[in-house]
Structures are given as structure tokens and as C-alpha cells.
Chain A
Amino acid sequence: MAANSHGKTNGSTRWVGTRPVRPDGVDKVTGRARFGADVHLPNMLVGKVLRSPHAHARIHSIDTSAALALPGVKTVVTRDDFNDLPSEFVPAGEMLINYRDVVRNVMAREKALFEGHPVAAVAAVSEKVAREALARIKVDYEVLPHVLDVVEAMAPEAPLLHEDLITAGVEPAPTTPSNVAKVVEFKLGDVEAGFAEADIVIEREFSTQPVHQGYIEPHACIANYSEDGQAELWCTTQGHFVVRGHCAKLLGMDVSKLRVTASEIGGGFGGKTVVYLEPVALMLSRKSGQPVKMTMSREEVFQASGPAAGTRVWAKVGMTNAGRITAGEAVLKYQAGAFQGSPVQPGCMCAFAPYDLAHVKVVGYDVVVNRPKVAAYRAPGAPQSEFAVESIIDELAKRIGMDPVELRLKNAAKEGTKAAYGPTFGPVGLVETLEEAKAHDHYRTPLKPGQGRGVASGFWFNIGGETCATLNLGEDGTIALVAGTPDIGGSRASLCLQAAETLGVDVERIRPLIGDTSTLGYTFLTGGSRTAFASGMAVIEAARDMIRQLCERAAKIWDIPVDAVEWIDGEARPAGSNAGEFEPLSLADLARLAGKSGGPFVGRAQINAQGAGPSFGTHIVDVDVDRETGRVTIERYTVIQDAGKAVHPSYVEGQLQGGAVQGIGWALNEEYIYDDKGRLQNPGFLDYRIPVCSDVPMIDTVIVEVPNPTHPYGVRGVGETPIVPPMAAIANAVEGALGLRFTDLPMSPPRVLKALGDARVPKAA
């Protein structure tokens, strides 16, 4: 069983590619690991948020006097406590956010824009008192018409969320406001000419529902603001440096006065790249002079933290009878939620990225609706657009009777392909994943009667970015590794492996730590599948810095030139016989001699990592459909993906398996259900049903390794790509089983039953 082997994956590295037990593992199996809500401070208050019961309402006044009069209530905050901020876009993961909107999302100002929008918050001596205080706050709302659907929101008569929102990206600029925040367009070649070359053209409309990241740990933090204007914040986040920046901006603080510590994080998937409670907790703590702890309930997580965008996608693909794709065109309409900034741009860029096409045109609309502001969710924007394109590719293959893997191979992007969104790919592994798919036992095993098989491929860019790391050599020769990217799925293990590989020492001698914002230079968040790649590069650079220092020290001790010293297998050696005869000095020897020979050793790196190689994947799925209940059962599932180089293969497999199962939920069950007043009807895990253990089979994985040339060990990010193919793969499999093509997600039992019912209706009727 691959998952249980502890050997190397190839012979060229000693540590990279092995499967040691993760360094933070014991804390996580004993309950010792401290997550966002697991800390208690002396004199701590409990903070709670009052949320709008309306999807869209003007807030005329907020009366907090009765709440403040309640014994045990220490302070209340509302919009009046936060300064308004001008429009300014800043990166948040792979998406952009605007501070004008962040301050409004954290605490409603003129209007409440979705059910669950924070309107006020209290800090009190207990949760019980805090709840009672919330009930005493009087808010005068003027309820306004709301809009949830992206197409309805684009209509001229739609209720306006922001009276000053003028569509960007169109010339000439509109003179009247609308709910369309932005229009983006990507073009390559001439699609009309491309479609003219086609023998077959298929166009279809697709829809996807908003889905939540569904991390099991709700948002939580503790803020401790001191009278001297300094503050500490402990929170569950994918990026504590980013949290520091956002909070300092919203509270008008110097970043140096705010020290943020990332707790262990109980899942994020992109959803913990932004701030919700943190600025509010800091404000409550500033006003009360006491530490304030805040946690969201699961209901609050669903109502007020970011889902992935619900979408409408129209796509059109042309192909010759020989299976050459001649053109692709798509129009993407993405829900942004209450504030602009849906991932429609990456959606446009990814739509046709798996294919080597001469003619592509994609237009995207970023549309505000009365729902919570969307947040990044694993390859933000890509699953929705690639679902549409990969569904049509499957239909085209069936139309000409060509194997769908073969059709993809004929058109696959490879090294040298110019992507429609601009760049020319370096070495990429799509062809390799398709070849593996074709050869895989899963693809060759005959289906049982009634079952269907689907395949789909997927693409995600991956990112690098600003990253720091430090290696502190202890006096006994062991090393403390300090990284700035919160460890969301085992990255401390992969960083230690890369450090051990570079230094040539046993991985057990390296102990990792995620440093707080004062211990390292600015480090961008864990997102964009960048951690094993970018923090890995920083750790390797820090290890090389330490090796330079160690070689210099050995040269000094031996009294020879530094270029006569080399570092091999964890020790300094004289380089060749001309350098002289000296016993090698190991890392432990040099650590022991540090004080007497010139002082301690600290390896540092501060980099802006570039050249994150994109990752392609191909998924194969077999489904069975119960024609009486409409339930789709996943019978077998295989994920094949290019990892560049799998640093810790078990955790790479874990990313592939986890992403696939999230995709299964997106395809088959997950959706937000609203009533006619715009109130969420299923804000809990009972009615918003993510896949449970009995819903899924084992998820087989094949790791393809096409090295990324910019990383010393060839690493590419792997975390996001696996959520891209499942929706189309499953829809293609369901089509195979039923002969019915589903273009609207989720393919939940009621929808499948309805489609089956429709199919039984005679065509003449």
C-alpha cells in the first residue's frame, strides 16, 4: 500500500521524497495542539457579534444604550468606531480586496448587505451576558429589495447594492451605477475564424452554486490591546502577516505595534485569508482594556464567511472531425457576494488553459449580490469555468466516438504552448497525467452494468511571493526552523525535509516553528499552493546561508581559504588534497565550537519567490446512479497529478484525495438554500451536507513528477488543482450512466430524479 511505505520515491535525494512522521503530529493526536479557540487569557472577556437579519437594509440608527447598561457588559462597538477607508485594492491570496469594502464587511456602515452582516459587537464577562446584551441592541432597519441570483443582479431593474458602483473595464465608462463591478476579457487569435474551421461546435450554459470551504474549525481569535497602543492577536489564519496588515489599517495602528501569532489552523482552503472577527476583537479590547476572545458559531461561518462564487457560465467549443479543437469561447458571470472581487479573472484565465488553442475568447463579469462576500476557495474561480469546458470536451469526444483521454492528448497544453491568458508554458505535466490515466488499471477495468465513467483534466497557476525563513543552529547541532506560512496540511514536515536535504543532516535534528509577525520579515500567506514551493525555497536559501557561514568558520579554524572548504553530507571538508589534511568538521562539531570560534550560526533568507510551476491533473471516476432515489454513488476514483517533486508524498496524496472529495461534495450535494427574504435556510452541517466517510470510496492517487525548473528540487504547488476536475469528471460519468448531461450543479438526488422524470416524458408531449 503506497500510503504506508516509508521509502524514498527516487534515488537522487536523501530526504526529499521520504515520509517521516510530521513534527507536529503528536500534538495533534493527543489534543495538545492549540487551535484558534483553545487559548484562555486571564481577565478575558467574551466578544459576540450582532448580525443583520435582513439580506438588504439601510441602517438608520443603532441604539446600544440598553446593552451597555447591562451588568457585565464592558463595551460595544459599531460602525462609529471604525474610520471609513478610501478605495484601495490589496492582494489577498490569489484575489484582490478593497479596504473600503473590508471595513464595511467587518462592520456594516450605510447598509446591511447580506443576512449575517455584522452590525454591532459586544464584549462581556461571559458568553451568556454577551448574548443578552446583543438582544438589547436596537437597530432601525429600512428593509430594501434584495437580489441573490447573478443574472437577475445584472438586469437594469435589479436592486442596487452600491449606489456608487460604476462598472470597470468597459469603454466608455457607464454613467449609471449597476451591480456589475468589473468586466474582464482575455483573447487569443480570432475565435470567429477558429469556429469557421470547426466541423462540430457545441455550446451550452452551465450553473454552479456557491459552496463553502467547510473548514471544521470556525473562525476564532483573542485580542489583547494594551494601554500603550500595542496589541497582541492570536488567531486561526492562513496568513498572520496579512492579518496584521489588514487589522493595523482598520485600527489605524503601526504594524510594528501589532504582534500576530497564527494558532494551529483547523482548515482554511482559502477561507481564512481574510479578516472577520480580528479587527472587531481588537477594537473591543482597545475600548475595554481587557483581552477579548471571539469565536464564530457554525451558523455564523455559513452566513457571514466567504463561500466560493456561484456562477453562470456559457461556453462554446469548436472541433474538427479529426478531434482538433479549433476555438473556445466563454462568458463567465460570477457572484462576488456583497462586495466586488469574485475570482472571475482567474476563472477566465483557467477556462481553456489545459489546451493548446489558437483561438480563444473569454469574457467575465464580477457581480455583487446580497450574499456573503466570496472568499478564495482552493483554485478560486477555476473549478466553475473548467467544469463547463471539460463537460463540452467530453461531449465532443462522444460526438466523434473518440476516447476522451485521447482527445485531450491530441489538444493538451505542453512546454511551449502559449496560454490564452498570456504566458508560454515551461515544462508542464498534463500530457504525462493523461498518459498515466490511459495506462491506469482504473481506466482499463470494464464498468459494471449501469455505471458510468468520466474523466476531466484541470489546471491551476500556483504562486510564489514574499517569504522569509530562519534556521537557528543550537549549541548541540540541532536546528530550529522558523517559517512564516501557517501549516495547514503538513508543510512543516516538507520544510524540514527540504532543509535536511540542503544541509545534509537527519531531518529529526530540525524542529520547525511558525514564527509570529515579529520574529520574521513579511511573509505572504499560505495560499496559492505556494507553501512547499516558496517557503521551501526560502528554507533552502537559509540553509545555503548557514552552509556559507559554516564553511567560513571551518576555513578559519583550519586557517585555509574559504574556497578550499566544501560542505558535503552535513560536514565541512577540505576541498581536494591541495586544501590540506583536516578531519571533517560536522554540523555538530561546528555548533559546539561556535562560541570559541566566532559566534553563533543563523541562516536567513528573505525572498520573493518567482516561477511557481503550474500543476495539471487528470481525474477518473466511476459512478452508479440509483434511479429510484436519484443518488449518485462514487464507485471508484483516481487522481493523477503533476507535483513536480513530491517532498512528502503522503501529504501530496492527502492534498489530491482531500481536493477530490471536496469536489465530490461540490458536484453532488453542496448548495446554499435561501428563502424568499434572502435568508439562508441551511447554515449547518446537517442540511449543508459535506461528504462524510460513508459517502466516498478510497481515493487512488498517482503522483507524476515533471520537475519545476525554478525550484532546486523541482517542487510545484499541489494543493489547489485537485478540486478543479471533479465536477466535470462526475458530470461526464453521470452522462455515461444515464445518457443525461447535467449542466447545473449540484447533481443532488432531487435534481437527478427530476431529470430522470423529464427523460421519461415522451418527446411528443
Chain B
Amino acid sequence: MAKAHVTTTVNGDAVEFLCDAEQTLLDVLRDELYLTGSKEGCASGDCGACSVIADGRLVCACLMLGVEAEGLAIETIEGMADGDQLHPLQTKFLEHAALQCGVCTPGFLVAAKSLLERNPDPTEIEVRYWLAGNLCRCTGYDKIVRAVLDTAEEMRGG
């Protein structure tokens, strides 16, 4: 079967790619566009390591087909920093040592950014439930939650 031609936007840039019908958005990002910051931890939507934002919605890229990206604006971890300026969440994750191995970190950052865009002043419980779709096996989540809460406070000008 011929590959599908898809036109989309990734991190603000117009992108075209060819993909098989069964390729997921994650497969396309990693294997066709070489954007390997989004990770495959489960391929079943359970770990959140492939979290991306599609037209403003936080999704697991492993649960979307590549062809579904047609016409959407996709944001990945690679687009989170602004040039050489890290996003405040990225800076706070480093300051709080909110990562150990770091493989879940891109997904957590994308998910946390999506949270703070909706809710600039989340409670600890709200942070914990929003991030419940992102698995981390190293940190026990403590420093991640602290980093997100601290970022929210800083971004509010607190």
C-alpha cells in the first residue's frame, strides 16, 4: 500500500512526511523526523513518555496515527526551549534534581507545561492527578511535583 503524504506543523515549522497507515505519530516523530526526544516506554498510552501537544491537547503520540497529524500543530519536547532560553519548567527540573535517568523527563515536561497553561496555580493534588499518566520509576515523584509547583509560583510572579 502506498504511503500517505501528511502535511503538518511541528514546533512551529511546516513539515511534510510520508508514512504507512499503521505508523503512529510517535513512530513518525522518532523514525521519520528523527525527533527522538519523545520516548517509547510502552506503546499503549500507559507511561506518558511520548507526551506531545496536538492542537493544544496533551496526547500520547503512541496513541495517534501519523496520518492523524494532518493539519495539526504538534509540539514536542524539542520545541519547549525558546532558542537558547530554557522554559522555566526545564530550569526548575534541573534545580530541583527532578530527574534521575531522565527518560521520562520529556514527557513530564510536556505534560506539566500543558497543565500550567490551563491552570497556573495548581494544588499539589492537582499536579499529582494531572501527571498520573506519566510514569517515573526513579524519583518517587517528590522532586517532580516540587519542581512543577515552584515553576507555577515563579511564572505567576510569586
Tell me the bound Cα distance from A280 to B40 in angstroms.
Answer: 21
Q: Mark interface residues in A478-501 (1 if CB within 8 Å of B CB, else 0).
A: 000000000011100000000000
B36 touches A685 (CB 8 A): no
* Residues of A163-214 whose CB lies within 8 A of B: 213-214
| Chain B residues with a Cβ closer than 8 Å to the other chain, count | 61
Which of B20, B95, B106, B134 contacts A31 (CB under 8 A)?
B106
* Residues of A297-338 whose CB lies within 8 A of B: 297-298
> B143 — which chain A residues lie within 8 A by C-beta?
3, 650, 653-654, 657
**A37 interface hit (Cβ, 8 Å):** yes
> B47 — which chain A residues lie within 8 A by C-beta?
216, 298, 685
A266 touches B34 (CB 8 A): no
B142 touches A3 (CB 8 A): yes
**A668 interface hit (Cβ, 8 Å):** no
> B150 — which chain A residues lie within 8 A by C-beta?
4
Q: Mark interface residues in A36-70 (1 if CB within 8 Å of B CB, else 0).
A: 01101000000000000000000000000000000
Tell me the bound Cα distance from A19 to B20 in angstroms.
Answer: 47
Tell me the bound Cα distance from A214 to B89 in angstroms.
Answer: 26
A31 touches B35 (CB 8 A): yes
* Residues of B19-40 whose CB lies within 8 A of A: 20, 22, 30-31, 34-40
* Residues of A11-34 whose CB lies within 8 A of B: 19, 21-22, 24-26, 28-34
Which of A25, A265, A267, A660 contacts B137 (CB under 8 A)?
A267
Tell me the bound Cα distance from A21 to B97 in angstroms.
Answer: 7
Tell me the bound Cα distance from A3 to B148 in angstroms.
Answer: 13
Shortest C-beta distance, A304 to chain B (Å), equals: 16
Shortest C-beta distance, A127 to chain B (Å), equals: 8
Tell me the bound Cα distance from A269 to B35 in angstroms.
Answer: 27
> A685 — which chain B residues lie within 8 A by C-beta?
41-42, 44, 46-47, 135
B100 touches A489 (CB 8 A): yes
> A35 — which chain B residues lie within 8 A by C-beta?
36, 39, 103
> B94 — which chain A residues lie within 8 A by C-beta?
21-22, 25-26, 29
> A351 — which chain B residues lie within 8 A by C-beta?
none
**A135 interface hit (Cβ, 8 Å):** no
Q: Knowing A4-B95, A214-B137, A658-B140 touch, does A28 contact B105 (C-beta < 8 A)?
A: yes
B129: nearest chain-A partner, CB-CB: A694
> B138 — which chain A residues lie within 8 A by C-beta?
267, 489, 654, 658
Give the most central of A29, A654, A690, A694: most B CB within 10 Å. A29
**A760 interface hit (Cβ, 8 Å):** no
Q: Mark interface residues in A624-665 (1 if CB within 8 Å of B CB, else 0).
A: 000000000000000000000000101101110111111000
**B10 interface hit (Cβ, 8 Å):** no
* Residues of A684-707 whose CB lies within 8 A of B: 684-686, 690-696, 698-699
B41 touches A657 (CB 8 A): no
Tell me the bound Cα distance from A559 to B21 in angstroms.
Answer: 75
**A356 interface hit (Cβ, 8 Å):** no
Shortest C-beta distance, B33 to chain A (Å), equals: 11
Tell me the bound Cα distance from A3 to B139 in angstroms.
Answer: 13
Shortest C-beta distance, B58 to chain A (Å), equals: 14
B97 touches A31 (CB 8 A): no
**A217 interface hit (Cβ, 8 Å):** yes
Tell me the bound Cα distance from A707 to B86 in angstroms.
Answer: 38
> A268 — which chain B residues lie within 8 A by C-beta?
101
Tell me the bound Cα distance from A477 to B41 in angstroms.
Answer: 41
Shortest C-beta distance, A535 to chain B (Å), equals: 16
Tell me the bound Cα distance from A267 to B93 in angstroms.
Answer: 18
> A218 — which chain B residues lie within 8 A by C-beta?
40-41
A214: nearest chain-B partner, CB-CB: B137
* Residues of A418-459 whose CB lies within 8 A of B: none
* Residues of B113-158 whose CB lies within 8 A of A: 124-125, 127-129, 131-146, 150
Shortest C-beta distance, A687 to chain B (Å), equals: 9
A31 touches B77 (CB 8 A): yes
Shortest C-beta distance, A135 to chain B (Å), equals: 15
Q: Mark interface residues in B75-110 (1 if CB within 8 Å of A CB, else 0).
A: 011101100001000100111110111111110010
> B134 — which chain A residues lie within 8 A by C-beta?
693
Tell me the bound Cα distance from A266 to B137 in angstroms.
Answer: 9
> A761 — which chain B residues lie within 8 A by C-beta?
none
B95 touches A21 (CB 8 A): yes
A656: nearest chain-B partner, CB-CB: B140
**B49 interface hit (Cβ, 8 Å):** yes
**A1 interface hit (Cβ, 8 Å):** yes
A29 touches B97 (CB 8 A): no
A46: nearest chain-B partner, CB-CB: B31
> A660 — which chain B residues lie within 8 A by C-beta?
140
Q: Knowing A32-B37, A658-B139 touch, does A693 contact B99 (C-beta < 8 A)?
A: no
Give the most central of B39, B102, B150: most A CB within 10 Å. B102
Shortest C-beta distance, B111 to chain A (Å), equals: 10
Tell me the bound Cα distance from A92 to B93 in angstroms.
Answer: 33
B100: nearest chain-A partner, CB-CB: A489
A31 touches B36 (CB 8 A): yes
Give the most central of B78, B90, B133, B138: most A CB within 10 Å. B138
B142 touches A217 (CB 8 A): no
Shortest C-beta distance, B69 to chain A (Å), equals: 18
> A297 — which chain B residues lie within 8 A by C-beta?
43
Give the most central of A297, A662, A685, A691: most B CB within 10 Å. A685
Shortest C-beta distance, A745 to chain B (Å), equals: 18
A486: nearest chain-B partner, CB-CB: B101
Give the most central of A1, A3, A650: most B CB within 10 Å. A3
> A698 — which chain B residues lie within 8 A by C-beta?
124, 142, 145-146
B102 touches A28 (CB 8 A): yes
Tell me the bound Cα distance from A657 to B139 in angstroms.
Answer: 6
A265 touches B101 (CB 8 A): yes
> A684 — which chain B residues lie within 8 A by C-beta?
42, 44, 46
Tell me the bound Cα distance from A29 to B108 in angstroms.
Answer: 10
Q: Knowing A21-B95, A29-B93 touch, does A216 contact B37 (C-beta < 8 A)?
A: no
Tell me the bound Cα distance from A659 to B137 in angstroms.
Answer: 9
Tell me the bound Cα distance from A35 to B101 in angstroms.
Answer: 10
> A21 — which chain B residues lie within 8 A by C-beta?
94-95
**A215 interface hit (Cβ, 8 Å):** yes
A30 touches B81 (CB 8 A): yes
Tell me the bound Cα distance from A268 to B137 in angstroms.
Answer: 10
Q: Knowing A215-B137, A662-B137, A693-B144 touch, does A490 contact B100 (C-beta < 8 A)?
A: yes
Shortest C-beta distance, B21 to chain A (Å), equals: 11
Tell me the bound Cα distance from A374 to B114 in angstroms.
Answer: 39
- Which of B's residues lie within 8 Å of A, judged by CB? 20, 22, 30-31, 34-44, 46-47, 49, 76-78, 80-81, 86, 90, 93-97, 99-106, 109, 124-125, 127-129, 131-146, 150
* 9 nearest A-B residue pairs (beta carbon): A31-B37, A266-B103, A28-B102, A661-B140, A650-B97, A657-B140, A685-B46, A31-B77, A489-B100
8 contacts between A and B (CB under 8 A): A3-B96, A22-B97, A26-B90, A26-B94, A29-B105, A30-B90, A128-B22, A489-B138
